[in-house]
Structures are given as C-alpha cells and as structure tokens.
Amino acid sequence: MSETAARHVIREPSFREVAEALSLGVPFRVRRSADGGVQFLSVGAGCQALIGVTAEALLADVGAFMSNLYPEDKARMLAEETAALQEQRPCVSDLRFRKPGGDLRWCRLTSSTQVEADGSVVWDGLMMDITEPKRLSEQLAEERRRLEQAVEVTGIGVFQWNREDPEAVLWSDRHYEIFGVPPHTPMTVGSHLADPPGRPGPLRADHARGHGRPRRR
C-alpha cells in the first residue's frame, strides 16, 4: 500500500464508540476465565448514572457491580447467563439496582458471548436504562388489577370490541349472565346491545335490581 493510500484508510469505529455516540446504552466487556475469575475489561462512563458505580470501580473489582444489585436478581442473572451460554444465544437480563441515594433503577443487560481457546468466556454487550418502561408497565398492571377488582365487586359485564372487525367481540362471563345466555354463546354487538327490528330504542341490563335479562331504558 502506498503512503498516499495509507493516509486515506479510515479506521472503523469500535462497538463502544458507536454505542456511546448514538446513546444506545453503556457498552461493556466482561471476561470469565477458565478458573472462574471474572473481571470487567472495559465499561462506559455512563455506568455511574445508571447503576451508581463508577467505571473505575468496576474495572478494579467486579464485585462493585453486585454491590447495588438486588440479591434476588443476582441468582437469576447468573442462571440466564448460563442458559444463554449453553444454548449459544444472546443473553438478556432485566436487573434492579438500588443507587446510593436510594433511587431504584431498572437496567437491561444484553450481551453476546465468545468462548476463547483457553476456555475463557467474553461477554460484549450493553447496559440500557429501562426504568421508565418498567414503571409504566407496573402502573398499567396495577390499573388493570383495580379494574378487575371493581368489575368483580360491582358485577358489571365488560367486553372488548375491535373496530376493524366489529364481529370479533370478547365478552366477560358476567355478560353472558346478564343477557341470560349460556357461556360462550356466539354474540354480536348488534344482536345483544340493540333491540330487534320493529322495536326501536336501546336495551340495557338491569344491574340495579340484579336481573339477568335486559330491559328497555
């Protein structure tokens, strides 16, 4: 290669450089030797904001990673890593960290493995902050639980209706009781939520009196 051509060779950016430049997460590389010793070979500086531990601390002692990790999540993470290694697939673990100030952060570790000639295993991956999606998921689950509790206490019927396919309706068991039909009887919105031809006006269930048949409003 000529000197002129050499000056125009562009170095490909590393995985770490790309990840940090695009804010994809905190890149890391971990090595577990054949004798079981584990160490961080590299880690992005953003780890402190995410899990409350500096990059320097992680590089000096892998135990620092476990210091803020929920104890019950540690065993699950190790089991997921073992399974991923045995099945030769990427490993994904959602972990909880309690930062020094008490702030709870959810972190998703996604990594791929490479087994070296001496039996060592190297993980290359990303730490990603998934705190807000987890909080939203938990909030939605709680709201669903409260809705289901309210439905059970009040005895109302609920259904799911797909506007793209009006005939595809999912009815709760209470709905069948309200309309006085056997469970899983085919029902449509038109046939049970509206009056038959010649009898204008909507029908509704008499929840107040606890009747199982609809009555005219």
Structure tokens of 168? 């595809």
HSE-up of residue 100 (Cα within 13 Å, Cβ side): 7
State the chain's mean pLDDT as an integer. 78
Q: What is the pLDDT of residue 150?
A: 78
**C-alpha–C-alpha distance, residues 34 and 38, integer Å:** 10
User: What confidence tens digit (pLDDT) does each residue in 181-194 have?
Assistant: 788 777 766 655 54
Closest residue by Cα to residue 213 from 192, 199, 196, 197:
192
Give the model confidence (pLDDT) of 96-108 as tens digits: 999 988 889 999 9
User: Given its phi and psi angles, is residue 84 left (phi above 0), alpha (psi -120 to 50 degrees) or beta?
Assistant: alpha
Confidence of residue 5 (pLDDT cuts 50, 70, 90): low
The CATH H-level (homologous superfamily) assignment of domain 11-135 is: PAS domain (3.30.450.20)
Task: Characterize the bridge pairing of strands 121-129 and 104-115.
Answer: antiparallel
pLDDT of 148 higher than 70: yes
Q: What is residue 13's predicted lDDT score, i.e. its pLDDT?
A: 53
**Is the confidence at residue 210, as pLDDT, over 50?**
no
Residue 79: which H helix or E strand, with range? helix 71-87
Can you tell me the mean pLDDT for 24-29?
86
Q: For 70-80, how does the pLDDT look when each residue is reduced to its tens digit (9 = 90+)?
A: 999 999 999 99
Query: What token pair was written down for 108?
Result: 């998703």
**Predicted confidence (pLDDT) per residue in 99-141, tens digit:** 988 889 999 999 998 889 898 999 999 999 999 988 888 888 8
Reported confidence tier of residue 211, pLDDT bands at 50, 70, 90: very low
| Token reading at 134 | 């987890």
Amino acid identity of 150? Answer: A
pLDDT given at position 213: 41
Q: What are the start and end residues of each CATH 3.30.450.20 domain in the chain?
A: 11-135
With a cut of 90, say whether residue 209 has pLDDT above it: no
Q: What pLDDT shows up at residue 202?
A: 39
